[in-house]
A and B are shown apart, each in its own frame.
Chain A
């Protein structure tokens, strides 16, 4: 991925640049809002990380300005303000995702990868997802593995759908809670893990290869185990 990081804190920016490069991505960094806007405006980035409080131009204005110019680069807002309402404001300004500081890098990376692979607006979405012999039909709401139909509860279907949509990428627990349940709070307990293990029992248990994997310290990933 080509990533643009707009962050004024030098330590935080250096850490992000280093960590993303280690993860194999191309990274540019801007230390203030105006430079960041110019870089983003030139385009060519798969995803941008924008700090909310920036010198010269704050993060939300920057995103609003980009969107007004028709620039649709996916943006993840990074903020020290973690409150529910700040999140809503960020998304309303045109941000695509929001992460409160302090964050785990694995969480940030997973969210960035999920954002970067978003299709451009208007492009048709796949109606059928396939991973190895697992097939999910989004129109008929049917799931089969090796031709056998697997009966899923509606929520399990959405869980699998989201995982398959992000196949080959790490999906964190909070991402699942946000996208499958539409909640942004702390569930206190490992509720998501239990849902995932139920789903795993349905799609993996009776088959030779596992598709739904736990990524330690990060979350889950669905991928073709043979590769």
Chain B
């Protein structure tokens, strides 16, 4: 894997950024720790000085300046960080382990940070935290503590900071390389799959590592999308295969009629009749074609058609009114029962076509050969979250075994062949129902057929 690709990877940059931020954080932590340590050391130093001063003042009170001088001389000889300086009123040194200090240091009342020089010549330029105590009799007693420890602590901290920063930088680079490489490997694998799919291998899917991380979730989501697309495509292919197959028959018929008219010499009237028949046949073909396209669109799923709320009760009433004269002409009693306030979100044209198909079917096939009761009832009502449209007749009905089959395209039962029809009416009604998230069921009306179209009120939206 080329390094430039890794450097350009988002994961690499992100990792670097995170480690940069943590380096700054580490520096801050170290600085705070160092500051706190120095504070504690200072406080301890001050306390030690105070205690020391108390003891020395006690010696002075008991034995005067001579005794104090002797004690200081004794202590000053011991090696250690403590410095002593005892002077008289004008600043002349009487005892101690450091060279005389300037007057302003001796006259200060509080702790001072002062440079000093020890008498044993252990070094120059040292600094100490010191306090001057005024003794009765005008003597000045300075007690201090060398600050070399504090400086050493600071140095240790700076060193620790530098080391940890170098260490962190190394870690950052390594971590970024590792993470970027790992993510890039997986993204590359996904990319290869995507290219394979684009290349035509529609069964290919993006690799899922099984770790359940966000890349896996993305891959799973994309795979589900691919599966849905494949499903739609196979559906579409099936539909186009069906269309090709089912249009062949009427096309052949059309061609045969035209050929037949040409085969023998006839008069103009015959040609005219043949042409009119040809136009009629092609109109039939167009209708079948339109119905098939409509079914295909409806089956392709929701979101393919614009939907809006409309009063389905009014549609049902309109359709009953539209078919009423033809029902009367054919001797049917058409009854209508529509509940008020039936609002549906859907495609009014398609739902209208679906219901019209059901009513049309009832008026075509809903009568017994032997006569009997000629009645078609159309009802619309609410059942829970569904709107139910029922179209029932008193005809021969459909056998239990055939009820599912007649919903398929181009299925026409034996008794139906005497009527003009394409065998698409129920398929379309069923496809429209599916598109609206509902379904079409066929039931026994004892006697007769009851077609029940259930449409969820908001089915087309969700």
Question: For the complex, what is the distance from the CA of A187 to the CA of B320, rounded to whole Å?
Answer: 12
Asked if A84 and B350 make an inter-chain contact with CB atoms under 8 angstroms apart, the answer reads: yes
Question: For the complex, what is the distance from the CA of A110 to the CA of B199, rounded to whole Å?
Answer: 50
Let me know if A140 is at the binding interface, CB within 8 A. Answer: no
Asked if A185 and B318 make an inter-chain contact with CB atoms under 8 angstroms apart, the answer reads: no
Question: How many B residues, CB 8 Å from partner?
Answer: 32
Q: Mark A9-50, 1 if CB is under 8 A from B, else 0.
A: 000000000000000000000000000000000000000000
Chain A contacts with B in 185-216, Cβ cutoff 8 A: 185-191, 194-195, 198
Asked if B290 and A198 make an inter-chain contact with CB atoms under 8 angstroms apart, the answer reads: no
Q: Mark A83-102, 1 if CB is under 8 A from B, else 0.
A: 11100100000000000101
Give, as a whole number of angstroms, the nearest-CB distance from B84 to chain A.
101
Asked if A84 and B305 make an inter-chain contact with CB atoms under 8 angstroms apart, the answer reads: yes
Let me know if B325 is at the binding interface, CB within 8 A. Answer: yes
Residues of A within 8 A of B240 (CB): none
Question: For the complex, what is the distance from the CA of A183 to the CA of B353, rounded to whole Å?
Answer: 9
Asked if A185 and B329 make an inter-chain contact with CB atoms under 8 angstroms apart, the answer reads: no
Residues of B within 8 A of A217 (CB): 276
Residues of A within 8 A of B323 (CB): 187, 189, 191
Give, as a whole number of angstroms, the nearest-CB distance from A9 to chain B.
18
Asked if B349 and A185 make an inter-chain contact with CB atoms under 8 angstroms apart, the answer reads: yes
Q: Mark A170-187, 1 if CB is under 8 A from B, else 0.
A: 000000000001011111
Let me know if B294 is at the binding interface, CB within 8 A. Answer: yes
Minimal Cβ-Cβ distance residue in B for A190: B326
Instruction: Please judge, given known A-B contacts A83-B297, A84-B347, A188-B360, whether A183 and B286 are in contact too, CB under 8 Å.
Output: no
Minimal Cβ-Cβ distance residue in B for A199: B325
Q: Mark B292-327, 1 if CB is under 8 A from A, else 0.
A: 011001000000011000000000001001110110
Asked if A189 and B294 make an inter-chain contact with CB atoms under 8 angstroms apart, the answer reads: no
Q: Mark A142-160, 1 if CB is under 8 A from B, else 0.
A: 0000000000000100000
Quick one: which of B293, B318, B353, B363 contacts A189, CB cutoff 8 A? Answer: B363
Asked if A155 and B349 make an inter-chain contact with CB atoms under 8 angstroms apart, the answer reads: no
Give, as a whole number of angstroms, the nearest-CB distance from B328 to chain A.
8
Let me know if A104 is at the binding interface, CB within 8 A. Answer: yes
Residues of A within 8 A of B279 (CB): 104
Asked if B425 and A188 make an inter-chain contact with CB atoms under 8 angstroms apart, the answer reads: yes
Let me know if B76 is at the binding interface, CB within 8 A. Answer: no
Interface centre among A183, A185, A198 (most CB of B within 10 A): A185
Question: For the complex, what is the distance from the CA of A88 to the CA of B307, rounded to whole Å?
Answer: 12
Q: Mark B362-394, 1 if CB is under 8 A from A, else 0.
A: 011000000000000000000000000000000
Quick one: which of B321, B329, B360 contacts A187, CB cutoff 8 A? Answer: B360
Let me know if B291 is at the binding interface, CB within 8 A. Answer: yes
Asked if A186 and B290 make an inter-chain contact with CB atoms under 8 angstroms apart, the answer reads: yes
Asked if A155 and B321 make an inter-chain contact with CB atoms under 8 angstroms apart, the answer reads: yes
Instruction: Please judge, given known A-B contacts A183-B352, A186-B290, A190-B326, whether A85 and B306 are in contact too, CB under 8 Å.
Output: yes
Question: For the complex, what is the distance from the CA of A85 to the CA of B363, rounded to whole Å?
Answer: 29
Question: For the complex, what is the distance from the CA of A96 to the CA of B425, rounded to whole Å?
Answer: 30
Minimal Cβ-Cβ distance residue in A for B322: A191
Asked if A188 and B293 make an inter-chain contact with CB atoms under 8 angstroms apart, the answer reads: no
Instruction: Please judge, given known A-B contacts A84-B347, A195-B325, A198-B325, whether A185 and B353 are in contact too, CB under 8 Å.
Output: yes
Let me know if A225 is at the binding interface, CB within 8 A. Answer: no
Minimal Cβ-Cβ distance residue in A for B297: A83
Let me know if A82 is at the binding interface, CB within 8 A. Answer: yes
Instruction: Please judge, given known A-B contacts A82-B293, A194-B326, whether A189 and B360 are in contact too, CB under 8 Å.
Output: yes
Give chain A's interface secondary structure class.
loop
Instruction: Please judge, given known A-B contacts A83-B297, A181-B318, whether A186 and B287 are in contact too, CB under 8 Å.
Output: yes
Question: For the complex, what is the distance from the CA of A217 to the CA of B273, rounded to whole Å?
Answer: 13
Residues of B within 8 A of A88 (CB): 306
Give, as a whole number of angstroms, the nearest-CB distance from B313 to chain A.
15
Question: For the complex, what is the distance from the CA of A223 to the CA of B56, rounded to whole Å?
Answer: 137
Quick one: which of B306, B321, B325, B353 contacts A186, CB cutoff 8 A? Answer: B353
Minimal Cβ-Cβ distance residue in B for A192: B322
Question: For the complex, what is the distance from the CA of A84 to the CA of B353, rounded to whole Å?
Answer: 11
Chain A contacts with B in 37-87, Cβ cutoff 8 A: 82-85
Question: For the complex, what is the distance from the CA of A104 to the CA of B297, rounded to whole Å?
Answer: 24
Let me know if B399 is at the binding interface, CB within 8 A. Answer: no
Asked if A191 and B352 make an inter-chain contact with CB atoms under 8 angstroms apart, the answer reads: no
Minimal Cβ-Cβ distance residue in B for A155: B321
Question: For the complex, what is the distance from the CA of A132 to the CA of B290, rounded to whole Å?
Answer: 41
Quick one: which of B282, B293, B363 contacts A83, CB cutoff 8 A? Answer: B293
Question: For the complex, what is the distance from the CA of A195 to the CA of B347, rounded to whole Å?
Answer: 26
Give, as a whole number of angstroms, the nearest-CB distance from A55 to chain B.
25
Asked if A85 and B360 make an inter-chain contact with CB atoms under 8 angstroms apart, the answer reads: no
Residues of A within 8 A of B325 (CB): 191, 194-195, 198
Let me know if B357 is at the binding interface, CB within 8 A. Answer: yes
Minimal Cβ-Cβ distance residue in A for B287: A186
Give, as a whole number of angstroms, the nearest-CB distance from A103 to chain B.
9
Question: For the complex, what is the distance from the CA of A186 to the CA of B429, rounded to whole Å?
Answer: 13
Question: For the complex, what is the distance from the CA of A217 to the CA of B272, rounded to whole Å?
Answer: 13
Asked if A85 and B305 make an inter-chain contact with CB atoms under 8 angstroms apart, the answer reads: yes
Asked if A102 and B305 make an inter-chain contact with CB atoms under 8 angstroms apart, the answer reads: no
Residues of A within 8 A of B282 (CB): 102
Q: List 26 A-B contacts (CB under 8 A).
A: A82-B290, A82-B293, A83-B294, A84-B294, A84-B305, A100-B290, A102-B282, A181-B318, A183-B318, A183-B322, A183-B356, A185-B349, A185-B352, A186-B287, A186-B290, A187-B356, A188-B360, A189-B363, A189-B364, A190-B326, A191-B323, A191-B326, A194-B326, A194-B329, A195-B322, A198-B325
**Chain B contacts to A: CB under 8 angstroms:** 276, 279, 282-283, 286-287, 290-291, 293-294, 297, 305-306, 318, 321-323, 325-326, 329, 347, 349-350, 352-353, 356-357, 360, 363-364, 421, 425
**Chain A contacts to B: CB under 8 angstroms:** 82-85, 88, 100, 102, 104, 155, 181, 183-191, 194-195, 198, 217
